[in-house]
Amino acid sequence: MKWLFLPYPLLQSTKYKWFFALSSGVFVYIFLIIYEPFGTRQLTTYKYLFLTGNGASVFLGVATTYFTLPKLFREFHRPEKWTVGKEILLQSCCILIISAFIYLHNNYLARGIVSYQTFFNYLEITILIGIFPSLFHGAHTIKKKYLESTITFMSVTARIVRGDLYSENTRRKCKSIAYCNAIVRVCICTIRRELCGDISSQR
């Protein structure tokens, strides 16, 4: 279970937070219109208005997760201490919050349009549909982290080359395989320190 304590990038971009919340709501709205799952095919009264409410519920749930929770739990959402386990917990909270908004919308605001469902029914539906935006978000985060890692690697390597490998003495030393291996170890240690930090100190 050590992987739960591995560092993970915390979403901090305000623009992307709004984009992710809006795109998740729009995706769910379009998904429900096209595939009409979970009995929505039988809807005849205010169908599109009802589905719009579901999309809005998803938007509010994601926005609450990424804007309200970080303000309520500032210490928990410290970027330098964010881990894989915390990200999983945050995504789980997001699903619960979305399910709560959908439950309130369908059973109270849209009462009479659809039959009553329990909170756990909507939780199951949210998990089944919400996996797609979650995968998109995860892929975006990993891709961004990979690009940042590549840029950092190039930057660190460039600093080492400018400050060390360009000297005449080092150029002669580089003929030694042992010295080249030492340079590689310095690169790796520097990159680990700049990207991940000290994992034990985060615990």
What are the tens digits of pLDDT across the range 110-127? 665 666 678 888 888 888
Summarize pLDDT for 13-36 with one digit per residue, the tens: 899 999 999 999 999 999 888 887
Q: What is the pLDDT of residues 140-197, one digit of tens each?
A: 676 666 555 555 555 555 555 555 444 445 444 444 445 445 555 555 555 556 555 5
Query: Phi first, then psi: what are they for 64, rounded to 5°?
Result: -60, -40
Cβ neighbour number for residue 132 with a 10 Å cutoff: 13
pLDDT of 61 strictly over 90: yes
d(CA 145, CA 158): 20
Q: Is the pLDDT of residue 85 over 60?
A: yes
